[in-house]
Copies of this chain bind each other. A is one copy, B any other.
Amino acid sequence: MNNSNYSDNQKITVAIDCVIFGFDSEKLNLLLFKRKVNPFKGSWSLIGEVLENDLSLDESANEILFKLTGLENIYLKQLKTYGELNRDPAERVISIVYFSLIRVDELLLKEIENKDAKWFALNDVPELILDHSDMVKDSIVELRNMAKDQPLGFELLPKLFTLPQLQTLYECIYNTKFDSRNFRKKILSLNVLEKTNLKDKSTSRKGAFLFGFKENISDDNQKNSDTYNTKDVFQF
């Protein structure tokens, strides 16, 4: 009973789950959490809990992520809501799923692992509870869609990165290889990256220039949303 204007007898629990991808300059990883409640206590699951009464969906997702992993100020994007009838054997639960892609560095790596959370290489993920594998699969599809439209901001954005790193990230997301000349041509033609004079020498003797995102995105690459041509419309 929830004593509601709209429904006196709705018995549905609302939960939030977070799919957190981490890029470590080499491969994509997935952040999992050792579940603390029954059923499936002790199994690996996405980062999730029930929705708080007094937090918006976005706020609650951030809060849960912080509580379970210590990660803070991460941009989380809503993916979709899962609500099959028996997706959770214990009771009727619908889950609103968020996802993000962040950069994993050493520091972050240890901090997180103190908290019963653990990074797994994406192609070495253990069996997940409930429909969590679907959530991960759907997130990857969405990740690919998003990477099309913006040169992958996410939480990589604040940091500087090299073009070979960015290319590796794209290759991980799409699970393929790109020609480096074409990749650079394309990504630079977007006019959103800014070269710095700094070099990252951690992966080669020659070193690779670091890039950041441009501040003023106010440029000619802004599209007037009232004009479309057939090229904009059909993109296969």
Find out whether the CB atom of B96 lies under 8 angstroms from the CB atom of A81.
yes
Contact B236 A5 (CB under 8 A): no
Q: Does A7 contact B (CB under 8 A)?
A: yes
A176 contacts chain B at the CB level, 8 A cutoff: yes
Contact yes or no, A83 B54, CB < 8 A: no
Checking B91, B94, B170 against A14 with a beta-carbon cut-off of 8 angstroms, the contacting residue is B94
Q: Whole-angstrom distance between the alpha carbons of A94 and B13 in the complex?
A: 12
Interface size class of A (residues with CB under 8 A): 35 or more
Query: For A54, what are the chain B residues with a Cβ–Cβ distance below 8 Å?
Result: 85
- Whether the Cβ atoms of B5 and A38 lie closer than 8 Å is yes
Kindly list chain B residues whose C-beta atoms are within 8 Å of the C-beta of A176: 226-228
Q: Which of A18-26, A116-124, A153-161, A182-190 has 4 or more CB atoms under 8 Å from chain B?
A: A182-190
Rounded to whole Å, the gap between the CB of A181 and the closest CB of chain B is 10
Task: Check A2 against B11 for contact (C-beta < 8 Å).
Answer: yes
A148 within 8 A of B: yes
From 185 to 236 in chain A, residues with beta carbon under 8 angstroms from any chain B beta carbon are: 186-187, 190, 223, 226-230, 232-236
Answer whether A13 and B10 are a contact pair too, CB < 8 Å, given A176-B228, A233-B174: yes
B residues near A84, Cβ cutoff 8 Å: 56-57
Cα(A231)–Cα(B230), bound, Å: 16
The answer, yes or no, to whether A31 is at the interface (CB within 8 Å) is no
When all copies of this chain in the complex are counted, the total is: 2
Does A147 lie at the interface of the complex (its beta carbon under 8 Å from any beta carbon of B)?
yes
Query: Interface 1/0s, chain A 169-182, versus B by CB < 8 A?
Result: 01000111011001
User: Is A68 part of the binding interface, using a Cβ–Cβ cutoff of 8 Å?
Assistant: no
Q: Chain A 87-106 against B: per-residue CB contact (8 Å), 1 yes, 0 no?
A: 00011111010000000000
Contact of A190 (CB < 8 Å), options: B13, B37, B57, B234 = B234
A64 interface hit (Cβ, 8 Å):
no
Q: Mark A120-151, 1 if CB is under 8 A from B, else 0.
A: 00000000000000000000000010011100
Flag if A147 contacts B11 (CB, 8 Å): no
Contact of A4 among B91, B187, B223, B234 (CB under 8 A): B91
CB atoms of A4 and B10 under 8 A apart? no
Q: Would you call A108 an interface residue if the criterion is a C-beta within 8 Å of the partner chain's C-beta atoms?
A: no
- Nearest chain B residue, comparing its CB with the CB of A84: B56
A174: B residues at CB distance < 8 A: 228, 232-233
